[in-house]
Structure 1
Amino acid sequence: MLVKEKRKKKKEQREKRKEISFKIRIFFLLASFFLPLASQAQCAMCRAALQSNENTVQAEAVNDGIVFLMIVPYILVALVGFGVYKLKYSKK
């Protein structure tokens, strides 16, 4: 009798988690549709400096900076992935 009650309780808990998960998904879906996506690619000063056709060296420097800033997160993700890989397969 006790086992059946535990199974029933676990089943109810799973159903509640599924319902909460579904509600969260719906919330994020609606939020992504209704929240405006007003973003700019650069700050106002960078855009003003890069819109002039005179200074191409400055534009190249900004592009190099963007690439440098983009590389760091990829390296961190790769290191974390490698660490997880080593932890998972070092036990065998």
Structure 2
Amino acid sequence: MISLFRATQSFAQCSICTKTAQQLGDGPARGFNTGILYLAFLPLGLIAFLGIRWWINERKSS
């Protein structure tokens, strides 16, 4: 769970994004990585939230 909040240490880039980040420099590349991780967090968080709600409802009905 802690690793989700260490966005600057992650390398969440495809090969095209890596080339773009290399051309931007160090500071903007870190922001680029952070932006990619923030965009990935919303759908993953939503899936986790729905899964937990489903699991709780299934436990109550059993």
Class of the TM-score when normalised by the shorter of the 2 chains: 0.5 to 0.7
Deviation at 1:63, TM superposition (A): 0.4
Q: Which runs of 5+ in 2 are unaligned?
A: 1-14
**Normalising by the residue count of structure 2, what TM-score does the alignment of the two structures yield?**
0.60
* Count of paired positions: 47
The two structures, once aligned, show a CA RMSD in angstroms of: 2.2
Q: Percent sequence identity over matched residues?
A: 21
Map of 2:44 onto structure 1 = 74
Distance apart, 1:74 and its partner CA: 1.2
Deviation beyond 2 Å, 4+ runs, structure 1:
50-53
Question: TM-score, normalized by length of structure 1?
Answer: 0.43
| Structure 2 residue 55 is matched with structure 1 residue 85 | yes
Is there any run of 5+ residues in structure 1 with no aligned partner, and where? 1-39
For CA contacts below 8 A with separation 6 or more, give which structure has more relative contact order.
2
